[in-house]
Amino acid sequence: MKIVIAPDKYKGFFSAEEASDIMCDIVRRRLPDAEIKICPMADGGEGTAKILAKNMGAIPFTSTTKNAYNEEVSFKYYATDTCAILESAEIIGLQKVKSPLCPLDVSTYSLGCIFSHLTKEYQNTILCIGGTSTVDCGIGFLQAMGMLCKYQGHIIDEIFTPRNYLHFDEFILPDIANQDSNSHFALCDVQNDILRPDGQDMTLFAPQKGLKPSQMPFLRQMIKHITTTAKWNRKNSIAQTIGAAGGGLSFAFAQLFGNIKLGAQFLIEKYGIQHYQPDLILTGEGCYDTQSILGKVPHAIMNTAANINSKFAIIAGKTDNIPTQNKKSIIDTTQFHPELPLNKTTATIRLRLATDFAITQFLNNNL
């Protein structure tokens, strides 16, 4: 019997590696003869670079820069002799911000400065996109990479923020876009359009970055202006359809390099889970909700399991408005000892019990 253990992090409680160890311990107790493949997962956001680095033999480097709010922050990236791996959240992530959140007043420029440096120092780069504090559609990132912004034929040299982007009517990308796109690629934590009439787009994530409801109409106007009204000297067909990650940062990256992948799917392929042909895949994350179907780890695992005819269980720290499809395979850990106060000890107990329950359901053919 083959078992794959492939959870994402449970934010605030376990890294993907810690969750994998807890699940593995229960699997070994229940199924001592099983062949187990441990695959800590990430979706392209926080934690992706560390997992990739371990797989690629990259070593960590630490430096300092400014975050989106011009506050000094330390950040970590990983590198081999030829490839650098950087997470957007390490520099412009929400967890890096001390100031009150005001996303219309900040940009991705500082991230672009660091990434521009890495593209000059290393033959290959991987940018992990997710968890940003920004909503600037990556315009600041592109300016740092050398993009020229124009208004009525005049070049605008200032580094503006989203409140001023309606004054840009033309974008001229730098020659770096002519490089081999396989040299530089990005991993995204979600796959949805940058702007849609039904609102299932980049604006979904704006409130958690501090955007006020009264500011939403302006944000949508700004996105529409950048993506459909302003001229681009090059167009990339995938830019809008995978443009929502990182407050539109994936839109910008796609315009420049055109090489973007879903982080969860990339790791699934790198681990070779499809070829392993497991009987059961155990996955999970801190909260399984409607956003999970946009490319998060559990949804990617569910699709992989369906493609290779494997059973799966999604062990969620909690659930919220979960999709009805495959509901029997979604296990909410809060059903175990709900009377206990929520802390890491309780979370550990619940994850262990939920994993044990998942194995029972699998053995009883109830997944």
Average pLDDT, consecutive stretches of 10 residues, N- to C-terminus, the chain (367 residues): 96 94 97 96 91 94 96 96 96 92 96 95 94 96 95 91 94 72 84 86 93 96 93 77 89 89 93 95 91 83 94 94 77 95 95 97 94
Token pair for 133: 């504090």
Can you give the pLDDT at residue 178?
A: 47
**Contact (Cβ atoms closer than 8 angstroms) between residue 45 and residue 130:** yes
Same domain for 84 and 187, yes or no, is yes
Same domain for 98 and 116, yes or no, is yes
| Boundary of a domain, candidates 237, 263, 289 | 263
Sheet holding 170-172, edge to edge: 154-156, 148-151, 170-172, 231-232
Tell me the residue type at 258: G
Integer Cα distance of 209 and 115 in angstroms: 22
Same domain for 290 and 222, yes or no, is no
Same domain for 317 and 235, yes or no, is no
Can you give the pLDDT at residue 177?
A: 47
Same domain for 216 and 345, yes or no, is no
Can you give the pLDDT at residue 157?
A: 86
Q: CB neighbours (10 Å) of residue 31?
A: 17
User: CA 183, 16, 349 angle in degrees (round to 5)?
Assistant: 175
Same domain for 259 and 310, yes or no, is no
Same domain for 216 and 113, yes or no, is yes
Range of the domain at 296: 2-40+272-363
Same domain for 298 and 204, yes or no, is no
Can you give the pLDDT at residue 182?
A: 66
Sheet holding 280-289, edge to edge: 35-38, 2-5, 280-289, 311-320, 330-332
| Boundary of a domain, candidates 213, 243, 263 | 263
Same domain for 254 and 286, yes or no, is no
Torsion of CA 84, 88, 262, 196, to 10 degrees: -150
CATH number of the domain bearing residue 319: 3.40.50.10350
CATH number of the domain bearing residue 68: 3.90.1510.10
3-state secondary structure of 167: helix
Integer Cα distance of 275 and 305 in angstroms: 11
Same domain for 21 and 155, yes or no, is no
| Boundary of a domain, candidates 263, 282, 306 | 263
Q: Report how many domains make up the chain.
A: 2
Same domain for 228 and 312, yes or no, is no
> Which pairing describes strands 231-232 and 83-87: parallel, antiparallel, or unpaired?
unpaired
Same domain for 78 and 138, yes or no, is yes
